[in-house]
Structure 1
Amino acid sequence: MKSFVKKISVFFILINFGTSFAQGTLAEYQKAISLDSLFRDKVTNSPKNFHWQENNLLWYVNNTPEGKEYLWVNPSEKTQEKCFDHAVLAKLLSEKFEKDIDVNHIDISELEFDADMAALKFTFDEKIVSFNPNQQELTIVESKTEDPKRDWGYWGSRFDETNNPPVMSPDSTMLAFIKNHNLYIKNTSTDEETRLSYDGAPGFFYSTYIKWSPDGKKIMAYKVRPGDERKIYFVESSPKDQFQPKLQSRDYLKPGDELPFKSPQLFLVGKKKHIQVSADEFGHQFGLNNIEWREDSSAFTFEYNQRGHQVYKVIAVDAITGAVKVLVNEVSKTFIDYSSKKYRYDVEDGKEIIWTSERDGWNHIYLYDGETGKVKKQLTKGEWVVRNVIHVDEENREVYFTASGMDKGQDPYFLHYFKIDFDGRDLTRFTKENGNHKVTFSEDHEYYVDQYSRVDAPPVTLLKLSTNAKTLMQLQKADHSALVEEGWMAPEVFTAKGRDGVTDIWGVIIRPTSFDPNKTYPVIEYIYAGPHSSFVPKDFRSYYWSMSSLAELGFIVVQIDGMGTSNRSKAFHDVCWKNLKDGGFPDRKIWIREAAKKYPYMDAENVGIFGTSAGGQNAAAALVFNSDFYDVAVSSCGCHDNRMDKIWWNEQFMGYPIGPHYAECSNVENAGQMGGDLMLILGEVDDNVDPASTMQFANALIKANKDFELVTIPGMGHSSGGEFGERKRKDFFVKHLMDVDPPSWEEIYNQKNNIEP
């Protein structure tokens, strides 16, 4: 019925306003795909990275209207000047490297200098170069040794417990190693081997990840009982290196799968004694990690994440007796956000522990006694959120951290920087300006660069003194006048009360450059409601990826952080618990309706939605569970049933054991409820979200006699669909939200190529 009403309303709009108000036209497509290049490099004096040197000198690269400018700053003198004569250096580099170097686009890195700037050293063209500005001399010191590229590997690969090499003792007299599933040591002088364990077996064996105590008198070695093996499979239809397709597979544990069990054991080397460590406090493992010896060899510690993520412990094992002591016992009735909010720092070899917790309903910092495991002090407190601990100063007993939500009237997601002492007193604030802040401290934390912006205000960059947060210099103030001249419109920050009638829900509204308040605009929401963070942009950007481009076709595009996302109160976050189908939709629908009340040109009866990954799940759920409001959805690489996706993310928020709530939240199980127009986009070699999840959803829709479109992109991994997916997404919204047949892309590209620069 809603689709019929939508078509009637679109018909009357066209009758009333005529073709001059047409949207989704060839000209608008042409502008939409040109926005990125039109807006690029139109904001100047907005440097990105700041580099402190040991002598508290600072250098950075400023983007001027002419090009790159290398500047150095002396905070004590409050001076800022060019690091070198750019024309001279460009000339010398051109001669030395026999290539044309543009004076306004010199590309160097790893710049080093001293206070008198008598000699500079930097990296250029994979060479380390010395430059004497006074003598105007340039010398290649050496070729830069390439840093070995870290191969982090595939995220889901099984952890190999068996192939680590033998581990040398701190005094190099002994080697510890695994043979026949048990722990041995060998004297490096005599090659005499001694067996230390006798309880290892093929199904419960000792891992090769062995840790000697610093004094070399003890060993921590743990036994492993392997868990399930699960793989996902997919066919790469069009590989680049051969004609025939390839079958690919990945290790991929899913919710409910059996996990490995680790059992740390203690060995006294001199006595050749194995001390059994009781597993009573860590028996039901999701993970057991961060095994480390105390510097004084008195104990080793590790972190235990209980299956279900409702208990998280820091545990110490006495190095003489093997006695187990729980130092931190974090418990939640819902979930512990260990992957985003957990922080631990051991002070003075564990005499105290800095720890973060949401136990009072907000994420805050606590100081524990490292001996007794008792809380000595809650360092921060209030209805605001500690976002990250960024530095612990043991000497001065201070904790540096970021927080948000402390300022009434400001966006509660804005990052601000603070420090507080170990007594929970002397809170020092480093940032106060109304904006989202990024701070870069000098190594001794005496000075810092503070850059802040908002979506509607370009960045300002200040140099400040830490002792009193006083501004010493304004380093740069961004200029976006050239961007405005191109027709850029700032996103509008909009708030509305959520489902409880009390909590503010924050989002942004993006309009086309051709915006006309006399037109009527369908609304499209870009959604990502993953509970692991919040997602509405807070920093200034000239171009908001697909949102800006979509808006240009004649839409109002919005993005919203509803309940169930992170970085607000624990209660706000807990809405997602065992309830990912919620996706904050009750808040999102209210928000869009309230925005449409304020701005009648927003057509809240004609709403589309799109997203990728968790956002792909959300976008499809909009039509499965919320088709009373949403009309059109494009879902890319979504997890449509949380039992099909990666174990850690889904069990963290959907819980363990697997219960009926998994089916209740499944797009697949509830496909028969789907209403509206749906497009599914899938990368055929997606190894982040099992591609079978999308195919199972498609299968369920077919069985339910639902009409939809399925776009599978050869060779593409986990993504929104790339350029082709973007084309399909634009066309789908234009066709189904505007009832307009899109122009052909051949015509669009030809028109674009014929544009005069």
Structure 2
Amino acid sequence: ERRRERAPETPREILSRGRELLRRTADGAETVLATLPEGRNWSNDVVRSPDGAHFIAWERAPGGERVVNYVESSPRGSVHPVLHSYPYLKPGDPIPQRWPRLFESATGREIPVSRELFDNPWSIHRERWAPDGSRFTFVYNQRGHTVVRLVSLDALTGKATAVIDENGPTFFDYAAKLWLHHVEGSDEVLWMSERSGWNHLWRIDGRTGAVLGAVTSGEWVVKRVVDVDDARRELLLVVAGRNPGEDPYHEHFARVNFDGTGFVALTDADGSHELELSPDRRFALDRWSRVDHAPVVELRRLSDGAKVLELGRADPRALAATGWRAPERFVAKGRDGTTDIHGIVHWPSNFDPSRPHPVIEQIYAGPHDFHVPKEFRAHHGHASELAELGFVVVQIDGMGTNWRSKAFHDVAWKNLADSGFPDRIAWLRALASTHPGLDLTRVGIFGGSAGGQNALRALLDHGDFYRAAVADCGCHDNRVDKIWWNELWMSWPIGPHYEASSNVVHASRLQGDLLLIVGEADRNVDPASTMQVVDALVRADKDFDLLVIPGGGHGSGGSPYGWRRTMDFFVRKLHRVEPRAAE
């Protein structure tokens, strides 16, 4: 057994001054413990071990200082334009980074630590001293997001060990699937991973890294950990895709023991669920619905998931009497002929299957989530409004979106241009083959932000299918957009794949009718992203429409004026009539 150093008796303050890390004793005397090279500095947060024998100081590199500028052309209360600037890192820019440095408290001696396992961090976080002070652990997310590790530093020797090493050929979805729990009173850790091809939980020895077992497994996913009970050694989870024959995106609740035994489904109705626990955690209110099923509230027993009684059920008959029609769920095979692709159809209330109707897809293919609604709503916003103009409106989750298998998600890897279009087109053709009244010679598409990028890409790559598009505030070149979102899916360093997915680079391929919308004051997606598309289209001698909204922020296409222009555009291009024209 290793002998551990006791905490020093004399109070010592650790502080930084410029590039120097110093120790100051009670009498004010200072000693330099370490000096950093030019361009580096120390952070002010020192992390001491529980026994006081060691501490961690953080070396920092400041990163880049890119600034985005825009001109507010028409500020209220003034006739003079205003220049605005704000910090905004983009893919490939230098980023702030930090690294742990290990020191003895009693002597101030630095214990050398190799950075081989954490040399290029996007982030180092979830840092923690073991209760006995023997090791310091942290989660290392490598820039490019293909490597995520739980790293352990031995307090006496400084040796770094990868307790958990996720090192794959594509992204580790740290934004939605990075979850870690240190089990109290144990060396065990619980860890979320897609190493099996599906997002599940694993139990791992926190000292050796040995996999002690899968907590969950199968061709379904764990979406969230709601609660961890270390004393009872059980977890409360949100899961999806576990019920055969049900929409795999529906959220259900379940309980399971740390060792994978005792799995209990706490919800079972065919819909997406929300659970509210009673104060004594013996019962729960289960609220569930579906896009085509009004909400139901049930009281359920948490010990076995059994339904005690139904407390309430919404009655949609009065709504239906107005002519309202619930969206229709539809499933078809994707590009590979085997994978189910799920979507919904918003029908016009006066839909007549004996005559052809143009079709519009509302698209958002961002890989961070799925995007087709799953819960009941009386009104689905823009989709419902377009449907009442005589369009059949669809929403589809193609490959590349989240919360299916890892392979399903990986389609987006370094390939945001794909946007799931082969799956979407196959789905639409299957829908038209079984539902008369759809005219696939008049298909439009619209979206905002990543959806704006997707909508324009439809006309660049699939202009033989999509005929008209409205692209609002699109991130049309991922090199111009915010760093975190784009490097997560497109990785780092910048390579030819960024250019391959750029709408700017491929603007000359435009087919069909296009309306670009941008707010000049967008602070989410740089407005230059849209204006660079405009420049490329002008140079390619392409016809298109452009709406710039002075003072408008992100999503200006959804403003009253922007949305009216969107609806008018589709009426002209797909119905081929003038909006609000006299009969």
TM-score by length of 1: 0.74
Task: Give the aligned partner of residue 184 of structure 1.
Answer: 22
RMSD over equivalenced CA pairs, Å: 2.0
Name the aligned partner's letter for residue 665 of structure 1: S
Task: Give the aligned partner of residue 616 of structure 1.
Answer: 452
The question of whether the paired residues in 1 share the 8 Å contact of 2:478 and 2:502 is answered with: yes
Matched, 1:255 2:111: no
Task: Give the aligned partner of residue 292 of structure 1.
Answer: 128
Deviations 1:364-421 (A, max 9, x none): 1100001111111011111111111221111111122111111221111111111211
Distance across 1 between alignment mates of 2:14 and 2:78: 46
Distance across 2 between alignment mates of 1:206 and 1:375: 36
Distance across 2 between alignment mates of 1:670 and 1:678: 14
Residue 454 of structure 1 is aligned with which of 281, 290, 293? 290
Residue range with higher mean Cα deviation, 323-332 or 629-638: 323-332
Q: CA deviation at 1:546?
A: 0.5
Residue 531 of structure 1 is aligned with which of 360, 367, 377? 367
Distance across 1 between alignment mates of 2:9 and 2:524: 44
Distance across 2 between alignment mates of 1:280 and 1:466: 47
Name the aligned partner's letter for residue 21 of structure 2: L
Distance across 1 between alignment mates of 2:9 and 2:362: 58
The question of whether the paired residues in 2 share the 8 Å contact of 1:220 and 1:265 is answered with: yes
Residues 435-446 of structure 1 correspond to what in structure 2 (within 5 A)? 435-446=271-282
Task: Give the aligned partner of residue 467 of structure 1.
Answer: 303
Matched, 1:510 2:346: yes
Residues 397-412 of structure 1 correspond to what in structure 2 (within 5 A)? 397-412=233-248
Deviations 1:195-214 (A, max 9, x none): 35222244121112322333
Matched, 1:738 2:581: no
Matched, 1:675 2:511: yes
Task: Give the aligned partner of residue 481 of structure 1.
Answer: 317
Number of matched pairs: 575
Residue 637 of structure 1 is aligned with which of 457, 473, 483? 473
Task: Give the aligned partner of residue 701 of structure 1.
Answer: 537
SS of the equivalent of 2:515 reads: strand
SS of the equivalent of 2:176 reads: coil
The question of whether the paired residues in 2 share the 8 Å contact of 1:335 and 1:652 is answered with: yes
Distance across 2 between alignment mates of 1:625 and 1:171: 71
Residues 328-477 of structure 1 correspond to what in structure 2 (within 5 A)? 328-348=164-184, 351-477=187-313
In the superposition, relative to structure 1, how do residues 243 and 300 fare at CA in structure 2: closer, same or farther (>3 Å)? farther
In the superposition, relative to structure 1, how do residues 592 and 720 fare at CA in structure 2: closer, same or farther (>3 Å)? farther
Residue 326 of structure 1 is aligned with which of 162, 187, 192? 162
Residue 560 of structure 2 is aligned with which of 723, 733, 746? 723
The question of whether the paired residues in 2 share the 8 Å contact of 1:418 and 1:430 is answered with: yes
Deviations 1:25-71 (A, max 9, x none): xxxxxxxxxxxxxxxxxxxxxxxxxxxxxxxxxxxxxxxxxxxxxxx
Q: CA deviation at 1:443?
A: 4.7
The question of whether the paired residues in 1 share the 8 Å contact of 2:8 and 2:53 is answered with: no
Residue range with higher mean Cα deviation, 673-682 or 506-515: 506-515
SS of the equivalent of 2:175 reads: coil
Name the aligned partner's letter for residue 370 of structure 1: G
Distance across 1 between alignment mates of 2:317 and 2:186: 54
Q: CA deviation at 1:355?
A: 0.5
Distance across 2 between alignment mates of 1:314 and 1:638: 36
SS of the equivalent of 2:34 reads: coil
In the superposition, relative to structure 1, how do residues 177 and 438 fare at CA in structure 2: closer, same or farther (>3 Å)? same
Distance across 1 between alignment mates of 2:85 and 2:192: 38
SS of the equivalent of 2:401 reads: coil
Residues 122-137 of structure 1 correspond to what in structure 2 (within 5 A)? none
Task: Give the aligned partner of residue 412 of structure 2.
Answer: 576
Distance across 2 between alignment mates of 1:500 and 1:355: 32
Q: CA deviation at 1:649?
A: 1.3
SS of the equivalent of 1:572 reads: helix
In the superposition, relative to structure 1, how do residues 723 and 171 fare at CA in structure 2: closer, same or farther (>3 Å)? farther
SS of the equivalent of 2:35 reads: coil
The question of whether the paired residues in 2 share the 8 Å contact of 1:170 and 1:215 is answered with: no
Distance across 2 between alignment mates of 1:173 and 1:726: 65
SS of the equivalent of 1:731 reads: helix
Residue 35 of structure 2 is aligned with which of 199, 205, 221? 199
Task: Give the aligned partner of residue 3 of structure 2.
Answer: none
Q: CA deviation at 1:347?
A: 0.7
Distance across 2 between alignment mates of 1:216 and 1:194: 20
In the superposition, relative to structure 1, how do residues 495 and 223 fare at CA in structure 2: closer, same or farther (>3 Å)? same
Matched, 1:685 2:521: yes
Q: CA deviation at 1:172?
A: 12
Residues 236-251 of structure 1 correspond to what in structure 2 (within 5 A)? 236-240=72-76, 242-251=78-87
Deviations 1:712-735 (A, max 9, x none): 111111114211110110000000
SS of the equivalent of 1:198 reads: strand
Residue range with higher mean Cα deviation, 567-576 or 475-484: 475-484
Q: CA deviation at 1:244?
A: 2.1
Q: Which runs of 5+ in 2 are unaligned?
A: 1-6
The question of whether the paired residues in 1 share the 8 Å contact of 2:354 and 2:436 is answered with: no
The question of whether the paired residues in 1 share the 8 Å contact of 2:182 and 2:190 is answered with: yes
SS of the equivalent of 1:304 reads: strand
The question of whether the paired residues in 2 share the 8 Å contact of 1:294 and 1:350 is answered with: no
Name the aligned partner's letter for residue 551 of structure 2: G
Q: CA deviation at 1:193?
A: 4.2
Q: CA deviation at 1:430?
A: 0.3
The question of whether the paired residues in 2 share the 8 Å contact of 1:630 and 1:676 is answered with: yes
The question of whether the paired residues in 2 share the 8 Å contact of 1:495 and 1:506 is answered with: yes
Distance across 1 between alignment mates of 2:289 and 2:9: 53
Task: Give the aligned partner of residue 155 of structure 1.
Answer: none
SS of the equivalent of 1:700 reads: helix
In the superposition, relative to structure 1, how do residues 349 and 243 fare at CA in structure 2: closer, same or farther (>3 Å)? farther
Distance across 1 between alignment mates of 2:176 and 2:204: 21
Name the aligned partner's letter for residue 235 of structure 1: V
The question of whether the paired residues in 1 share the 8 Å contact of 2:33 and 2:108 is answered with: no
Task: Give the aligned partner of residue 4 of structure 2.
Answer: none
The question of whether the paired residues in 2 share the 8 Å contact of 1:446 and 1:467 is answered with: yes
The question of whether the paired residues in 1 share the 8 Å contact of 2:63 and 2:95 is answered with: yes
Deviations 1:410-437 (A, max 9, x none): 1111111112112211111101111111
In the superposition, relative to structure 1, how do residues 172 and 240 fare at CA in structure 2: closer, same or farther (>3 Å)? farther
In the superposition, relative to structure 1, how do residues 561 and 720 fare at CA in structure 2: closer, same or farther (>3 Å)? farther
SS of the equivalent of 1:280 reads: coil
The question of whether the paired residues in 2 share the 8 Å contact of 1:182 and 1:201 is answered with: no
| Paired-residue identity, % | 47
Residues 50-65 of structure 1 correspond to what in structure 2 (within 5 A)? none
In the superposition, relative to structure 1, how do residues 240 and 170 fare at CA in structure 2: closer, same or farther (>3 Å)? farther
The question of whether the paired residues in 2 share the 8 Å contact of 1:346 and 1:353 is answered with: yes
Q: CA deviation at 1:181?
A: 2.4
Residue range with higher mean Cα deviation, 174-183 or 254-263: 174-183
The question of whether the paired residues in 2 share the 8 Å contact of 1:196 and 1:274 is answered with: no
SS of the equivalent of 2:561 reads: helix
Q: CA deviation at 1:175?
A: 4.0
Distance across 2 between alignment mates of 1:341 and 1:539: 23
Matched, 1:283 2:119: yes
SS of the equivalent of 1:566 reads: coil
Distance across 1 between alignment mates of 2:318 and 2:45: 57
TM-score by length of 2: 0.95
